[in-house]
């Protein structure tokens, strides 16, 4: 190093490297830079000791803290499952009313219910539950079989005409197809149902059909046609139709007596799941479930003696 020379202008030693007459000065590294460098080294060493760092032949150095993102995620999942388990158990224990009135339980039931509905019910009832022809609309407060929490739970658990021994049952007879009524009577009754729903109908047909309705239909639909949730008979006086409001749809129903089938969910969904989806349906429908039939128009000459009607079912 004795052959090193000093730069004449700055007085700094050169390194001895020279390119085309340009010489390199041997300036020391700036102090701040060195300090940062040493800190980095220290931090790196501390990090290697505490955290997983170096690969080894059959794994890696785990570090003293045994920190692992993978384990953290697994723990988070376990905690979530435990939390859900707790809420699931609470759903099982709480009554439907309690679930609906307890904000965090309701929120949990709504989230679970939405997922269950999307997976199991939406194919028939539509993504939002708005239903379609023959498939009950679950978003309004009009109910075939009752809209109280317990009614909905019963419907979902055992189904409708599902074959389950406790299923909701009733069958409107096929009045036309089975020859129980003459074609003219079915046509007159179609007018009568149009009249019941507060629309213009042929007065002659309405007068002819009134006694037939009292005898054949009132047992299920009620003397005024307001329906009966015990037998799933729709209210015929409102503007809500399962099969359609036009004369052809009404005629078809009186002729064929279709009865919609809804599967039973007991055995496929747990009791807690059925409760969750029950609350989901109830809240989305507006949540009152009170039957609110519209007033039926009065028929001057109607013989509305329900005693003359056949026993339903
Ligand atoms: C295979 C088709 C189908 C599936 C799947 C289905 N439903 Fe239904 N559901 C029906 C039909 C059809 C009716 C109307 C039955 C009738 O005419 O009385 C109905 C009626 C109902 C009713 C009674 C409505 C009322 O007005 O009283 C409720 C509540 C209901 N479904 C809830 C559900 C829920 C919740 C699920 C999912 C767990 C579900 N349904 C899955 C076909 C289905
Ligand atoms: C044994 C009970 C019963 C009797 C009797 C009965 N119905 Fe029904 N009716 C029902 C049921 C249940 C439904 C709903 C069918 C379904 O849910 O798929 C229905 C549905 C209807 C509908 C369709 C309503 C809609 O919203 O689309 C009309 C219209 C109707 N009935 C008219 C009549 C007339 C008219 C008579 C008499 C000739 C009659 N029903 C007798 C049980 C009955």
Ligand 1 center from residue 14 Cα (angstroms): 91
More reliable by pLDDT, 67 or 302: 67
pLDDT at 67: 85
d(CA 291, CA 228): 10
Ligand 1 center from residue 264 Cα (angstroms): 9
Percentage of the chain modeled with pLDDT above 90: 68
Sign, Cα dihedral of 264, 267, 268, 274: positive
Structure tokens at 28: 């020391």
Query: Does residue 250 have its Cβ closer than 6 Å to ligand 2?
Result: yes
| Other beta carbons less than 10 A from residue 86's beta carbon | 11
Query: Does residue 264 have its Cβ closer than 6 Å to ligand 1?
Result: no
Q: Which atom of ligand 2 is nearest to the CA of 258?
A: 18
d(CA 215, CA 235): 17
Q: Residue range 285-311: average pLDDT?
A: 51
Q: Is pLDDT above 60 for 164?
A: yes
pLDDT at 297: 57
d(CA 213, CA 206): 10
Ligand nearest the Cα atom of residue 196: 2
d(CA 202, CA 234): 23
Question: How many residues would you count in the chain?
Answer: 313
Percentage of the chain modeled with pLDDT above 70: 91
Q: Residue range 236-258: average pLDDT?
A: 96
d(CA 193, CA 249): 11
Q: Which atom of ligand 2 is nearest to the CA of 136?
A: 17
pLDDT at 290: 53
Ligand 1 center from residue 262 Cα (angstroms): 5
The mean pLDDT of the chain is 89
Q: Is pLDDT above 70 for 283?
A: yes
Residue 74 to residues 51, 71, 80, 82, Cα–Cα distance (Å):
18, 5, 10, 12
d(CA 119, CA 219): 37
Query: Does residue 195 have its Cβ closer than 6 Å to ligand 2?
Result: no
**109, 122, 124, 147: residue to mutate for ligand 1 pocket, most atoms within 8 A of CB:** 124
């Amino acid at each position: 190093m004795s052959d090193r020379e000093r730069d004449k202008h700055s007085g700094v030693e050169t390194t001895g490297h020279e390119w085309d007459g340009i010489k390199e000065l041997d300036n020391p590294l700036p102090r701040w830079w060195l300090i940062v460098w040493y800190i980095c080294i220290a931090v790196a060493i501390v990090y290697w000791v505490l955290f997983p760092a170096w690969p080894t032949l059959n794994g890696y150095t785990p570090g003293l803290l045994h920190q692992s993102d993978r384990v953290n995620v697994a723990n988070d999942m376990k905690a979530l499952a435990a939390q859900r388990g707790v809420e699931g158990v609470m759903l099982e224990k709480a009554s439907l009313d309690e679930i609906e009135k307890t904000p965090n339980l309701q929120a949990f039931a709504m989230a679970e219910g939405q997922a269950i509905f999307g997976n199991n019910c939406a194919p028939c009832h539509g993504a939002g539950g708005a239903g379609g022809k023959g498939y009950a609309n679950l978003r309004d407060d009009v109910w075939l079989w009752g809209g109280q929490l317990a009614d909905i739970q019963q419907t979902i658990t055992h189904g409708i005409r599902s074959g389950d021994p406790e299923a909701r049952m009733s069958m409107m007879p096929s009045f036309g197809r089975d020859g129980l009524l003459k074609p003219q009577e079915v046509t007159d009754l179609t007018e009568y149902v149009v009249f019941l729903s507060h629309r213009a109908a042929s007065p002659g047909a309405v007068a002819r059909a009134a006694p037939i309705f009292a005898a054949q239909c009132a047992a299920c639909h009620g003397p005024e046609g307001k329906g009966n949730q015990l037998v799933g008979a729709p209210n015929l006086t409102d503007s809500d139709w399962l099969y359609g409001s036009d004369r052809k749809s009404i005629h078809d129903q009186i002729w064929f007596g279709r009865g919609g089938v809804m599967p039973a969910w007991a055995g496929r969904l747990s009791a807690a799941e059925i409760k969750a989806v029950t609350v989901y349906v109830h809240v989305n429908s507006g949540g009152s479930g009170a039957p609110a039939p519209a007033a039926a128009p009065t028929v001057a000459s109607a013989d509305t003696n329900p005693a003359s009607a056949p026993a339903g079912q």
